[in-house]
Structures are given as C-alpha cells and as structure tokens.
Amino acid sequence: DAKTTQPNSMESNEEEPVHLPCNHSTISGTDYIHWYRQLPSQGPEYVIHGLTSNVNNRMASLAIAEDRKSSTLILHRATLRDAAVYYCILRDGSGSARQLTFGSGTQLTVLP
C-alpha cells in the first residue's frame, strides 16, 4: 500500500478553520484518499473520501491536489469536539486492498 505522511500534531482555535495536510507522493491511479478520525477512547470514525475532485460533506471538505500527491482535510469551523487524531489513508479502489493501513495520524488540539 502507498504510504501517507502527516504532521504529528496541530493546534487550532475554536471556531476557526483547520487545514490538515497529508502527503502521498506514491499514490496510484486507483487509490482513494480516505480520512478517519479517532476521538479519545472511541473507535475511528469515517470523515470523508475522494479520488480526484474536491469533496464536501456535512463534516468536512477534502481538497485534492491536481497531481494527487497531496490532500488537505478542511474543518470549516473547529469545535472542541473536533479534537481528535486524524488519519489520512489510501485505499485501492481496484479491489486488491482489503484493509485500512493506519499511520500515526495528526493529533489535533482545539483551543477554546
């Protein structure tokens, strides 16, 4: 599976936008970019995924670089509840990959 690189930690102020970066320079053409987050003492939670185009849902937006070698998860207005570890993961859409490979993720701290 292609690897992803994320900063270990980031801080944000409450009610401000947060941009969480992810590098995936070895991404293949069939890899989907997935984001999950894990709140303290909970299981991971799906946030968003995309292939080539930018994506929006009720939780966040995903901006994908034109060459697909990087992406950014955007939380439009961070709340204290958004404090979590965010994981950027590549999943092979051709069907050959069967599982999520978790790295160490980015620990997001939201300051009141």
Partner 1 sequence: NAGVTQTPKFRILKIGQSMTLQCTQDMNHNYMYWYRQDPGMGLKLIYYSVGAGITDKGEVPNGYNVSRSTTEDFPLRLELAAPSQTSVYFCASSYEGWWESFFGQGTRLTVV
Instruction: List contacts with partner 1 (CB under 8 A).
Output: 32, 34, 36, 41-46, 49, 87, 91-93, 95, 97-105
CA distance 15 to 4: 28
Minimum CB–partner distance for residue 46 and partner 1 (Å): 4
Residue 48, burial from CB neighbour count under 10 angstroms (0-12, 13-18, 19+): buried
On whether the CB atoms of residues 91 and 80 are closer than 8 A, the answer is no
Q: Give the type of residue at 63.
A: A
**DSSP code for 35:** E
Cβ nearer to partner 1, comparing 43 with 112: 43
Report the run of H or E that residue 66 belongs to, with start and end: none
Minimum CB–partner distance for residue 15 and partner 1 (Å): 27
Cβ nearer to partner 1, comparing 59 with 63: 59
Cβ nearer to partner 1, comparing 63 with 102: 102
Minimum CB–partner distance for residue 41 and partner 1 (Å): 8
Minimum CB–partner distance for residue 98 and partner 1 (Å): 5
